[in-house]
């Protein structure tokens, strides 16, 4: 549950957000009530970004405006970008005749 609540905070630059979810069980009614408290903390912004060995076509997918400095930092973008890159690279290699493998 905490991860579900924390994800939107991470994507908006709140990397240090602290989520507290306190359950209260009602055994007679078979229910659980939660009190959720969020301490968002500071907003992080993008610093310097150096991209190496990316094609001109790949670079705008990461930073469409060409200048990422001071943008609100989305902590989920780097792992997503890397996964997309590796998937794209695997698909390129699969298209080469005689190669066959499964990339996940």
Q: What is the pLDDT of residues 43-90, one digit of tens each?
A: 999 887 777 787 777 777 666 666 676 788 888 877 777 787 788 777
Rounded to an integer, what distance in angstroms lies between the CA atom of residue 90 and that of residue 104? Answer: 9
Q: Indicate whether 51 and 15 sit together in one domain.
A: no
Q: Indicate whether 50 and 37 sit together in one domain.
A: no
Segment holding 94, helix H or strand E: helix 77-95
What is the structure's pLDDT at 63? 67
User: Domain residues for 89?
Assistant: 45-104
Q: Indicate whether 32 and 56 sit together in one domain.
A: no
What is the structure's pLDDT at 60? 72
Q: Indicate whether 59 and 31 sit together in one domain.
A: no
Encoded tokens for 62:
């990461």
Asked if residue 13 lies in contact with residue 73, where contact means CB atoms within 8 angstroms, the answer is yes
Q: Indicate whether 24 and 5 sit together in one domain.
A: yes
Domain count, the chain: 2
Check residue 70 and give left, alpha or beta (phi > 0: left; psi -120 to 50: alpha). left
Asked if residue 62 lies in contact with residue 78, where contact means CB atoms within 8 angstroms, the answer is no
Encoded tokens for 47:
């610093």
Q: Indicate whether 88 and 38 sit together in one domain.
A: no
Encoded tokens for 99:
């190669």
Q: Indicate whether 76 and 64 sit together in one domain.
A: yes
């Amino acid at each position: 549950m905490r991860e579900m609540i924390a994800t939107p905070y991470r994507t908006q630059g709140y990397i240090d957000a602290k989520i507290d979810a306190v359950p209260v069980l009602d055994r007679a009614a078979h229910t659980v009530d939660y009190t959720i408290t969020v301490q968002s903390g500071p907003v992080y912004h993008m610093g310097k970004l150096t991209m190496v060995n990316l094609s001109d076509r790949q670079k705008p997918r990461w930073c469409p405006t060409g200048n990422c400095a001071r943008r609100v930092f989305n902590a989920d973008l780097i792992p997503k970008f890397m996964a997309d890159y590796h998937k794209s690279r695997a698909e390129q290699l699969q298209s080469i005749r005689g190669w066959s493998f499964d990339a996940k």
